[in-house]
Amino acid sequence: MKISVSGIRGIFGKDLTLRDVLKFSKNFSVLINSKKCVIARDTRPSGHMITETVKAGLMQSGIDVYDLGIAPTPVAFRESRKYGAGIIITSSHNPIEWNGLKMVINGKGVNEKQLDTIINEQNPSKSKIGAEYKIESDYIDDAAKIIGRISDIPKVSVDIGGGAAKEFSSQLLEKVGCDVITINSDFEKSSRGPDPTTDPLQELVVNTKNRDIGFAFDLDGDRLVIVINGEKKNPDVTPGIGVVKALELGYKNFVLSQDTSISIEKYIKQKGGTVFRSKVGEANVAEKMIETKSQVGGEGSSGGFILSDFNYCRDGILTSGLIASIIKKDEFADALNFMEKYHIIRDKVEYDSEHHDGILKVLHGKMKEKFGAVETLDGLKAIVDEDSWALVRKSNTENVIRVSAESNSLEKVRNIHQEIKDLIKESYEQIK
């Protein structure tokens, strides 16, 4: 089981059981001051069982449950602003055998302190049993107001990936004026895996060769990957183009996670904006946004873009509409060309989780010796030069160590990436 501010995740029936789900749901109930909680789930086969268990844990603790059914994470986040809390039954982009819980208080993902409450045994005060209600969301209408009507009718292909975005993404894009083709609508017939950042998206690539843009979602609709002219783009392009729209709307302060492309930071600064960096993870980006009074956040590795006036989470569905509204403008092409001068490699290495802390401790010294100063905001980040960096950190969502590197030289980033992996291997050999 993997527990972090990104959610509680595990292989269902193996290291995440219904007993765990019941415990975490009951513990979460003590944080819900409104006594109301929105529930949503993605399309995983285990979702229904877990949903009913979550409801039982909350209702037993006196919480009224407002069920959206199968609905994307951004929709549940939006509704939790109204009701006070939310639980989404999802493990986002993880393999199908996984599932989990993403918990929300007042429209924001839980922080470290709230997570401690959720994982440690609580004793909710006895009260009457909560009630259950079915609800629908005004998300599409609300998002359309932010995006506005698109006059030039962009041709858009949407790859649902068999996920929860099915009833939302295409409807929103059509409502704002796009010509939409939808593929992989049904979970059972989807031609690809749950994570669009790693999947080659072959069907969408073929489908977009004569269209303006393609959008691919993960199972819960918070991640978004773009395909243009039959070419899948790096996930950092999503927040990068989102930033173009945000600047057009007049936003000035931005938060980027530690592993987000430096090209986005440079672009923002060139346009007169201010950039702050946060730990990796949606909740960490959102928390830094609140701290710095920033209106916009981005997490490149997950294709994540946050517009706080609408939602305090990665919102792939809203972002697809925002991007569609500018794809025929010069700023879109300019930003894309600027970003594509940079090359980023993301990888993961698998060692037993009991060794992760020891590896990073030894690695810190090796990276300092190799690259000079090392930042420790989130894992270990070396700034190689003004256009190059490397980051090593423990994953929030899997039992792996993540390795990221970027440079404006493809040869250089490959060399940096390999050097870091060699240092990790040396560090592991040293602690064995």
What digits encode the pLDDT tens for the residues 96-112?
999 999 999 999 999 88
Burial 251-282, CB ≥16 within 10 A → b, else e: bebbbbbbbbbbbbbbbbeeeebebbbbbbbb
Given a contact cutoff of 8 angstroms between Cβ atoms, the answer to whether 159 and 186 are in contact is: no
CB atoms inside a 10 Å sphere around CB 322: 24
Domain residue limits, the chain: 2-134, 141-228, 237-339, 343-431
What digits encode the pLDDT tens for the residues 256-287?
999 999 999 999 999 999 999 999 988 899 99
pLDDT of residue 124: 86
349: Cβ contacts below 8 Å, ≥ 6 apart: 400, 401, 403, 421, 424
Q: What CATH architecture applies to the domain 2-134? A: 3-Layer(aba) Sandwich (3.40)
Domains 141-228 and 343-431 share a fold: no
Q: What are the φ and ψ backbone dihedral angles of 113, each rounded to 5 degrees? A: -65, -45
CB atoms inside a 10 Å sphere around CB 337: 9
Question: What are the catalytic residues?
Answer: 92
Q: What is the mean pLDDT of residues 205-220?
A: 96
Q: Which residues share a beta bridge with 54? A: none
Domain 141-228 classification at class level: alpha beta
Domain 343-431 classification at class level: alpha beta
Given a contact cutoff of 8 angstroms between Cβ atoms, the answer to whether 223 and 303 are in contact is: yes
Domain 237-339 classification at class level: alpha beta
pTM value > 0.85: yes
What digits encode the pLDDT tens for the residues 286-321?
999 999 999 999 999 999 999 999 999 999 999 999
